[in-house]
Structure 1
């Protein structure tokens, strides 16, 4: 596995950890902890999405010669995640724990499915198609 892809997978695990912390905070009912956990999750996801959307996806699209296909599906799912996060922030502001928990449950399922597709389908395709993949992904954290 390439170093850059390993970093993206590590980012996915960081998002999973942040999501777990948010779920734990929700069960505890401490709104300050919930707010902090949601902010961490948003930051983790933002970093991952930025790396994928600004570097990996364009490099893959150049390599295969079109922008449709798996990267368009992944971008669409990123947008779905952003909408869920926007909704979660609204429920947080309203301090509606039940609605926030339901939103996070939906987010958990979407992210699990999304990461499986990236890690088992898109990333191997990128390794096979993108020349100098590690150079493309150099410096992502």
Structure 2
């Protein structure tokens, strides 16, 4: 039997690696490279949020009847991260190394905590609740994440 969320932890690592590269470019003051790297990271993390919020979370909520629990918290944290992404984009556009570093540090902490909660709590709950269509869900998630590569 497959795992519904199999692709998502690997995509977390992918996004984290893109984030680190963008931050390294900003630290060097290579703002053209930082802008390009940040745009790629931004596209990928938004594809991740969209796949979870548009497909995984509704499927989990439909299967469990639970809409005010862990998915609500994850959506809230996605909103916090989107706000930090806007701050990073503005700092990058302004070539503001200090502003970028501050927002990046906060985002990194939030991302790490968020990913740990998803991987250790929510994803196992989803895998159990969605076991009957695990492979189909994982394929749909993969297709949604692939759109972020375009």
Q: TM-score normalized by structure 1?
A: 0.93
TM-score of the aligned structures, taking structure 2 as reference length: 0.88
Distance in 1, matches of 2:135 and 2:105, equals 34
Equivalent residue pairs, number: 141
Q: Which runs of 5+ in 1 are unaligned?
A: none
CA contact (8 A) 1:4 1:137 kept: yes
What corresponds to 1:51 in structure 2? 51
Shift of 1:3: 4.8
Task: Find the counterpart in structure 2 of residue 137 from structure 1.
Answer: 138
Matched with 2:109 is 109
Q: CA deviation at 1:136?
A: 2.3
Residue 96 (structure 1) shift = 1.0
Distance 1:2-1:77 versus aligned 2 partners, 3 A rule: farther
Is the 1:64–1:129 contact (alpha carbons within 8 Å) kept by the matching residues of 2? yes
For the 8 Å contact 2:87–2:103, the answer to whether it is kept is yes
Coordinate RMSD, CA, aligned: 1.5
Query: Which structure carries more relative contact order (alpha carbon 8 Å, separation 6+)?
Result: 2
In the TM superposition, residue 89 of structure 1 has moved relative to its aligned partner by 1.1
Runs of 4+ in 1 over 3 A off after TM superposition: 1-4
For structure 2, the residue ranges without an aligned partner over 5 or more in a row are none
